[in-house]
Amino acid sequence: MPDRTPPPLLKTLATPMIGADDKERLPPWEQLTELYRIDPHIIAAAALLAAAILPYLEGNRGKVMAVAVVLAVQLLIRLIADTMFRRRVPDAAFKPWLFGFILVSLLSGIAWGLSLAILYLGSGPQAQVVVLAVGCGIVQSCAARAYMAPASTALVILIMIGIVNVAALSEGDWLMIPICLAYVAFQASYMTRLVELEQARQAAEQKTGKLVIELAESNEKLRQANEQLVRHASTDGLTGLANRRSFDNRLQAEVEEAHSLGSLSLLLLDVDHFKRFNDTYGHLAGDECLRRVASMLRDECAVHSHYPARYGGEEFAVILPKADHKEAEAFATGLLSKVSMLDLSGIAEPSDPLTISIGLACLEDGDDGAHALISRADQGLYAAKQAGRNCARTVERMQDVT
């Protein structure tokens, strides 16, 4: 169960600024920008000057002038602080500006308290009531912003009430003490609740942020898993080349494109005497042999943007997009040479080189699709086997291209 116990009053009000010490959050510059604004102080000064009307009408013009001077100095200090804050360097440290705000806040509290005390002293009852009402309004306005800076807000309120109490006691108004104590207790409870709500909001926001990050990470893992499933579904497990299913799909797409855009050739390759190789060196060596042939095919096809695949067993296929018969013959001849030089160290004797047979076919006008191309390439492969292997043949020409 979550701990719902309200934070201790003193601990809450001692917090310089909500969120400022949270290591997992960015410094709350937005809150500090709001706290540095001069607008609320202009409104407070206007309210105090309005409260000075009755003392002024009572003939206390000197105290009104004194209040005007105090408020002018206070507003000038706030204006300078606000201007400096807005012109700070982009990478400014947070804490110096936080403590700067606390300092000007205390000066504001002193200025407001002095203004209220000056207007209270020697004024008539009606004027004193108006002054206290304005003071309560300023205190309430400060308390409403306590969720951002509890410590400075509490000090400002205590300073204002303390100065006004001293003025009241100097005139023998002892009743102000219990009234102010009750008012301070009310404001402290109000401020504590505001701080508690802000802390709960920030905790919820932080939890939401973590959940969003976790969701993004889960989505990324799911995307990677889906990509891996797609790769597994389209890749031959032994050689890492495209499997038969991927080959069929790719060839059909290339045939459809070639009918309108250009040439297309296909090679079917078969490792010669592979059963004898397996019987001589074992199936593990046979698997490694196929992997090395596949690696060679992958490298050669990457240079020419061709598409290699494992067709089945010891057979491979290569799709040559936009390649005509001459280009296909040249590529097939190169593969024959590469296979004969293939390094089989560790799996076969050097005296027993590997060879392949290749069937070659090019897409012709009138072909009804991929089936016709595969059929002619397969016939070419059979012809290469019949011709003694280690060669490439095409049924259209029936000649050795080695």
Model confidence over 323-338: pLDDT tens digits? 989 999 999 999 999 9
Looking at the chain, the number of H-run helices and the number of E-run strands are 14, 5
Structure tokens at 169: 């006691």
Confidence of residue 19 (pLDDT cuts 50, 70, 90): low
Cα of first residue to Cα of last residue in the chain, in angstroms, is: 80
Asked if residue 288 has pLDDT above 80, the reply is yes
CB of 195 within 8 A of CB of 150?
Answer: yes
Distance separating alpha carbons of residues 327 and 51, to the nearest angstrom: 98
Query: Which of these, 339, 350, 343, lies nearest to 314 by C-alpha position?
Result: 339
- Is residue 288 part of the annotated active site? The answer reads no
Quick one: tokens of 144?
């409403």
| Tokens at 35, concatenated | 């706290």
The pTM of this model reads 0.50
**How far apart are alpha carbons 152 and 155 in whole angstroms?**
5
Q: Please report which confidence band the pLDDT of residue 10 belongs to, taking 50, 70 and 90 as the band edges.
A: very low
Alpha carbons within 13 A on the beta-carbon side of 45: 19
Per the residue annotation, which of 314, 327, 329, 396 is the catalytic one? 314
Both tokens of 311, joined, read 């067709």
Q: What is the pLDDT of residues 220-257, one digit of tens each?
A: 998 888 888 777 788 998 999 999 999 999 999 998 88
DSSP string, 246-295: HHHHHHHHHHHHHHHH--EEEEEEEETTHHHHHHHH-HHHHHHHHHHHHH
Q: Any idea where the domains of the chain sit in the sequence? A: 9-213, 244-394
Q: How would you class 273 by CB atoms within 10 Å of its CB: exposed for 0-12, middle for 13-18, buried for 19 or more?
A: middle
pLDDT tens digit sequence for 115-159: 999 998 888 889 888 988 888 888 888 877 777 777 788 888 888
The fold of the 244-394 domain, in CATH, is: Alpha-Beta Plaits (3.30.70)
